[in-house]
Amino acid sequence: MKQKWGLLPAALVAAVALAGCGGSGGESSAKEGAPAELTFAIASAVIGPKEEVAMFAVAKELGYFAEEKLTVETINTDGSVAALQAVATGSADVTAADSGSILGAVEKNVPVKAIGGLVQNWPWVMAVKPDSTISGGADLRGKKIGVISLASGSAPYARAYVAAAGLDPAKDVELLPVGVGAQAAAALNDGQVDVLALYTQAYAVIENAGTTLKYLDNPDTFDGIRSLSFAVGARSLDDNKDVYTRFLRAAYKAMLFSANNPEAAMRIGYQVFPQILAGKQAAEQLPNDVRSLEAWLKTATPASGDPKDFADWGAIDDQEWAKTQAYTREAGQITGEVALADLWEPGLLAGANQFDKAAVLDKAANYTK
C-alpha cells in the first residue's frame, strides 16, 4: 500500500523541511480485508523497550498482523517531526508520533491525520542529579536543558515546562540535544546540561545502568495532555480506512498482551529486534529491560483500573484534544486553534476494538516460547 507522493508545496517544505519523494500519488480504494503492505515509522533512532516492542514486535511475532492480512515493516526516524515527514511524503504509511507534532504539522497544512491514541498518560518529566539545587521551573533561568533532539517531543515539553514557570523559553534557557540512555546520563553527570527532559521509560534505562536521579514535579497543566498518537497520511486515509483499522486492531491486541505479560513481550522484542541486546545475553539484560518496558506501559495503558477491562483503546475525547492544543500552543508548536476535523479521525476505533480480548489475555497468561 505504501506510495510515494510528489514534492509538497514549497511553503510546506520550508516550514517542516520535508524531503521530496519521487513518483506520483493516488491509488484505488483497497478492498475490505485484502492483503496489504505497510511501513511503520518508529519516531526514534534508538531501538528500545517501548512501542516498537509492546506494539510492533508483539503484533508481528504473535501473528496479529498476519491475522489481519498485513505485512508490516519498520523504518527509524529522528523524532516525531521526521516520522510525520515520512508519512506525509509516502516513505512510510503510519507512525506513532507526538500529538503536539501532529498538531504542528496539520497547522502547516502537512497532509497527516491522527487515527488513534497510544500513550495516554503524560510520560515527560524533568530530572536532575540528586544534589542539584534545582527544585522546579523557576530555578531554570540560565540553565541548560538536555532534550532527546530538537525534532522530538522532548523539546516542546521543555519549552512548555519553562513557560509554565513564567520564564521565556527562547531567552532564559538553552536546549541541547543529548539523545537518550548512556549519552543523556553522561551529559547530566558531566555537567554539559543541568537538567534532562525525557520520558519515564528513558529514565528507567538510565537508572537501570546505575545513575540516581531526582525528579521535578510537573505543573497541573500537563494533566490530561496526550502524547503519542497513531498518524497516517491524510491523502491515503479515505481509500484505506479498512487497512488502517486492521493495523490498529493488531496494535491494540499487542498492547493488551504486553500489559498483561511484559516479560513475554520483552522476550519477543529480542526476537524481532535483537539489536536491543547490544551483544549482551538475554538473561542478563531481561530484568532491566522488563522494568523499562513496564515504565513505558504505565504511560500507554489506563491510568486507573486494569488494562484487561479497557474497552476503548485509542480513544481521545474533545477535552483531551483541547488540553493538548493548549499545551502545544504554550510549547510554540502551533500558533492558533487547529480544527479537530482536520486533525482527528476517530471513526476507525470502533472496528479496531472489535477483537476477542479473552483470547489475547489467555495467550498472555500461557505464553511459553
Q: Residues 6 or more apart from 359 whose CB is under 8 A from it?
A: none
Number of C-alpha atoms within 13 angstroms, CB side, residue 306? Answer: 7
Q: Which three cell numbers stand for residue 170?
A: 527562547
Extended strands (E) in the chain: 36-42, 70-76, 94-98, 112-117, 124-128, 143-147, 173-177, 195-199, 214-216, 228-233
Mapped onto helix, strand or coil, the DSSP state of residue 34 is coil
Nearest one of 250, 237, 252, 236 to 69, comparing CA atoms? 250
Q: Which three cell numbers stand for residue 157?
A: 515539553
pLDDT for residue 30:
61
Nearest one of 151, 148, 176 to 46, comparing CA atoms? 148
**Helix 99-107 / helix 80-89 crossing angle, nearest 10 deg:** 50
pLDDT for residue 109:
96
* Residue 203 parent element (H or E): helix 200-208
Encoded amino acid at 190, one letter: D
The CA–CA distances, whole Å, from 281 to 47, 110, 233 equal 17, 43, 39
What's this model's pTM, rounded to 2 decimal places? 0.84
Q: Are strands 112-117 and 124-128 parallel, antiparallel or unpaired?
A: unpaired
Q: Tell me the CA end-to-end span of the chain in Å, nearest whole number.
A: 32
pLDDT for residue 279:
87
Encoded amino acid at 15, one letter: A
**Helix 262-272 / helix 282-300 crossing angle, nearest 10 deg:** 120
Compute mean pLDDT per 10 residues along the chain, 369 residues long, and list them.
48 39 41 94 79 97 98 93 95 96 96 96 94 96 96 89 94 96 95 96 89 94 91 96 98 97 97 91 93 92 84 94 92 93 98 96 94
pLDDT for residue 2:
59
Mapped onto helix, strand or coil, the DSSP state of residue 39 is strand
Distance CA 37, CA 158 (A): 37
Sketch the domain layout of the chain as residue ranges.
Answer: 10-121+226-366, 124-222
Distance CA 207, CA 287 (A): 13
Which residue has 501532529 as its cell numbers? 102
pLDDT for residue 203:
93
pLDDT for residue 331:
83
Instruction: Evaluate whether 354 touches 246 at the Cβ level (below 8 Å).
Output: no
Question: Of 3.40.50.620, 3.40.50.10540, 3.40.190.10, 3.30.43.10, which CATH number belongs to 124-222?
Answer: 3.40.190.10
Number of residues assigned to the chain: 369
- Note the CATH architecture for domain 10-121+226-366: 3-Layer(aba) Sandwich (3.40)
> Hey, which residues does 74 pair with through a beta bridge?
40
**Helix 200-208 / helix 282-300 crossing angle, nearest 10 deg:** 160
Q: Which three cell numbers stand for residue 328?
A: 502545544
pLDDT for residue 283:
93
pLDDT for residue 3:
54
10-121+226-366 and 124-222, same CATH topology: yes
